[in-house]
Amino acid sequence: MTLAPETPAPQTPAPQTPAPGTTGPKVRLRLTDDWFAACDLGALLPGRGVAALLPDGGQVALFRDRGGELYAIDNRDPFTGAAVLSRGLTGSHRGRPFVASPLLKQRFDLTTGQCLDDETVRVATYEVKAA
């Protein structure tokens, strides 16, 4: 029997807000009503993503492009179910930033979450800022 928990069981340690003492701006994303500090801005390498754990057990993929723009989308690859979008290669297509899933290479628009290779598929996006 293979079943994926819709909301992963919270056996995982609670996500930490970056340790006090680290200075500099944080990458923050908007969850229903407040801004969640996911990590130091410095942890984001331009053109590469990282995954962050959300308080509800969900996962977000965070990216930064070479112009400094930030993006946040659901980390779960809807085609395979694996939480790997943060590990994909990024690029731009007709001026729009995207990430290509590292598993089967479908591309997702980083601003809208729309899959560029299958119009019926979209992943969730989050509002994100550095502050």
Partner 1 sequence: MNATPGPTPTLVLVGHGMVGQRFLEALAERGLTATHRVVVLCEEPRPAYDRVQLTSYFAGTSPEDLSMTDMAFIEEHGIELHLGDPAETIDREARRVTARSGLAVDYDVLVLATGSYPFVPPVPGKDAEGCFVYRTIEDLLAIEAYAKNATTGAVVGGGLLGLEAAGALKGLGLTSHIVEFAPRLMPVQVDEGGGAALLRTIEGMGLSVHTGVGTQEVVVGADGAVTGMKLSDGSELATDLVVFSAGVRPRDQLARDCGLAVGERGGVSVDERCRSVTDERVFAIGECALAADGRVYGLVAPGYEQAETAAATIAADEASFTGADLSTKLKLLGVDVASFGDAHGTTEDCLDVVYSDSRAGLYKKLVVGRDGTLLGGILVGDAEAYGTLRAFTGSVPPVSPESLVLPAGAGAPAQLGPAALPDDAVICSCHNVTKGTIRGAVTEHSCTTVPEVKKCTKAGTGCGSCVKVLGQLVTAELEASGVEVDKGLCGCFAQTREELYEIVLALRITSYRELLDRYGREEARGGEGCEVCKPAVGSVIASLAAVIGASGYVLEGEQAALQDTNDHFLANLQRNGSYSVVPRIPGGEIAPEKLIVIGEIARDFGLYTKITGGQRIDMFGARVEQLPVIWARLVDAGFESGHAYGKSLRTVKSCVGQTWCRYGVQDSVRMAIDLELRYRGLRSPHKLKSAVSGCARECAEAQSKDFGVIATSNGWNLYVGGNGGATPRHADLLAQDLSDAELVRLIDRFLMFYIRTADKLERTSTWLERIPGGLDHVRDVVVHDSLGICDELESLMRAHVSHYRDEWAETINDPEKLARFVSFVNAPDAPDPVVGFVPERDQMKPDLPLLSIGVRRPSEDDVLEGSTRR
Q: Which residues bind partner 1 (CB under 8 A)?
A: 2-5, 8-9, 11-18, 38-39, 43, 45-48, 50-53, 57, 59, 62, 65-66, 76, 78-84, 87-93, 95, 97, 100, 102-103, 105, 107, 121
89-93/26-31 β-pairing: unpaired
Rank residues 4 and 131 by Cβ distance to partner 1 and give the closer one: 4
> Which of residues 36 and 125 has its CB atom nearest to partner 1 in the complex?
36
Q: Which helix (H) or strand (E) holds 44?
A: none
Q: Is 94 exposed, middle or buried (0-12, 13-18, 19+ CB in 10 A)?
A: exposed
**In the complex, minimum distance from the CB of residue 32 to partner 1, in angstroms, rounded to a whole number:** 18
Q: Which amino acid is present at 10?
A: P
